[in-house]
């Protein structure tokens, strides 16, 4: 067996003494160069892990230790006697720092990709696979909470409400969708419009008063219907709760979605849809207006008017807070003057 040079410390003083050590079958350490030879079984020794090229310490039962600079030989001996797998792995990992950094970069990119693309894609798949009864249950719960904490009863007269409900019916009767659409009126939160997952759309007295004509209200309703058709509320809820999303996608556990209902009212009030969601809803409204020969600028006009009246504080900034880049979006609807 190979003889290694080592420095011996007795554990009582700082004195160093040069010795020779040798590992022998059936697994023991022999130390020569002292007043008498020392022999210890490997089972009684503690050997420090490899850290770069730092000498290894072999701790003896007596409290003494040997420092050995030949790390490679120590590694091979430990491997021979089955004691080195983890320490050897750590050293190999440490000695290949570039691979460690590469693994870190790959991990970061993978997590980013999962959040940016994987979760939204999975949320869409799950949302479209769920029955509309899930939307209806979430919508009922959300409206109940909103009525308790945010909304006040509408003061619009019954005839005006009936006229506006006719506008919504004109939109929904032309689309293939299993949601049951209903228009409700509330006050107390400025000029706003909200779509619930169930197909219930809420517009406020403030929005009706702000609109200069029914085509402007019609355009807003078409946009909100677009959110329902594409199930944006449910998809957003699923995206914001990865745990529930995974359970629902793997186990098909619809009951797990009940835990999301408490968060839905806040999401509706804030309603900060992603740019992709807004684009989908805008395109839905755009197609409806064009198909029915309604001038596109009606939507742009009310958007910009709402932008001017948006409160600087309060309930999440209202409808416009849920529709970022208002001026940019309005340009899409101004091409016909």
* Residue-wise pLDDT tens digits, 295-305: 999 999 998 89
- Does residue 320 or residue 33 have the better pLDDT? 33
pLDDT of residue 11: 87
Residues 102-155 have pLDDT tens digits of 878 888 887 677 666 666 666 667 666 667 777 777 778 888 888 888 889 999
- Percent of all residues in the chain with a pLDDT value above 90, rounded to a whole number: 37
CB-hemisphere CA count at 13 Å for 337?
Answer: 0
pLDDT digits 0-9 by tens, 204-249:
999 999 999 999 999 999 999 999 999 888 788 777 665 555 555 5
Instruction: Determine the Cα–Cα distance for residues 260 and 18; give it in Å rounded to an integer.
Output: 70
Cis preceding linkage at 10, omega within 30: no
User: For residue 94, which of 82, 83, 107, 103 has the smallest C-alpha distance?
Assistant: 103
In angstroms, rounded to a whole number, what is the distance separating the alpha carbons of residues 197 and 180? 10
**Which range, of 73-77, 90-94, 277-281, 330-334, averages the lowest pLDDT?**
90-94
Higher pLDDT, 78 or 98: 78
- Percent of the chain past pLDDT 70, that is, above it, reads 73
Radius of gyration of the chain (CA): 35
160 is written with which tokens?
């005006």
Closest CA to 207 of 224, 190, 184, 182: 190
Report whether pLDDT(257) > 80: no
CA neighbor of 214 nearest in space, from 129, 302, 283: 302
In terms of pLDDT, which residue wins out, 274 or 284? 284
User: Which has more confidence, 249 or 284?
Assistant: 284
Residue with tokens 């969708």: 177
Q: Identify the pLDDT of residue 222.
A: 96
Domain layout of the chain by residue ranges:
3-94, 111-332
The CA distance from 50 to 77, in Å, is 13
The pLDDT of residue 318: 42
Residue 280 C-alpha from the chain's centroid: 21
CATH number of the 3-94 domain:
2.30.29.30
Q: What is the per-residue pLDDT for 153?
A: 94
What are the helix (H) ranges across the chain? 71-80, 85-95, 97-113, 119-129, 132-149, 158-172, 205-210, 214-229, 232-239, 242-251, 264-270, 275-291, 297-309, 318-321, 326-332
Instruction: For residue 44, give the DSSP letter.
Output: G
* pLDDT for the residue 301: 93
The structure tokens listed for 230 are: 């594409």
* Residues 34-63 pLDDT 10s: 989 999 998 888 888 888 788 999 999 989
């Amino acid at each position: 067996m190979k003889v290694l040079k080592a420095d011996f410390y007795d554990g009582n003083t700082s004195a160093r003494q040069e010795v020779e050590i040798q590992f022998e079958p059936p697994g023991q350490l022999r130390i020569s160069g002292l007043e008498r030879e020392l022999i210890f079984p490997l089972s009684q020794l503690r050997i420090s892990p490899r850290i770069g090229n730092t000498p290894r310490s072999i701790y003896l039962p007596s409290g003494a230790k040997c420092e050995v600079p030949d790390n490679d030989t120590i590694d091979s001996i430990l491997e021979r006697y089955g004691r080195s797998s983890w320490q050897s792995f750590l050293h190999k990992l440490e000695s290949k720092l570039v691979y460690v950094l590469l693994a870190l970069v790959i991990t970061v990119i993978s997590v980013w990709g999962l959040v940016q693309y994987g979760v939204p894609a999975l949320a869409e798949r799950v949302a479209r696979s769920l029955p509309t009864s899930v939307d209806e249950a979430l919508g009922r719960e959300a409206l109940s909470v909103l009525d308790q904490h945010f909304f006040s009863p509408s003061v619009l007269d019954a005839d005006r409400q009936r006229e506006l409900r006719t506008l919504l019916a004109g939109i929904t009767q032309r689309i293939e969708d299993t949601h049951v659409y209903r228009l409700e009126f509330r006050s107390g939160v400025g000029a706003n419009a909200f779509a619930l997952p169930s197909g219930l759309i809420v517009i406020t007295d403030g929005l009706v008063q702000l609109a200069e004509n029914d085509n402007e209200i019609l355009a807003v309703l078409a946009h909100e219907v677009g959110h329902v058709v594409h199930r944006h509320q449910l998809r957003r809820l699923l995206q914001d709760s990865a745990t529930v999303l995974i359970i629902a996608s793997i186990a098909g556990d619809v009951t797990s979605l009940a835990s999301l209902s408490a968060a839905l009212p806040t999401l509706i009030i804030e309603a900060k849809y992603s740019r992709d969601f807004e684009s989908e809803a805008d395109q839905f409204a755009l197609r409806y207006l064009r198909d029915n020969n309604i001038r596109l600028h009606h939507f742009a006009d009310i958007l910009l008017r709402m932008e001017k009246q948006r409160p600087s504080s309060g309930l999440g900034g209202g409808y416009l807070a849920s529709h970022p880049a208002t001026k940019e979006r309005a340009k899409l609807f101004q091409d016909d003057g």
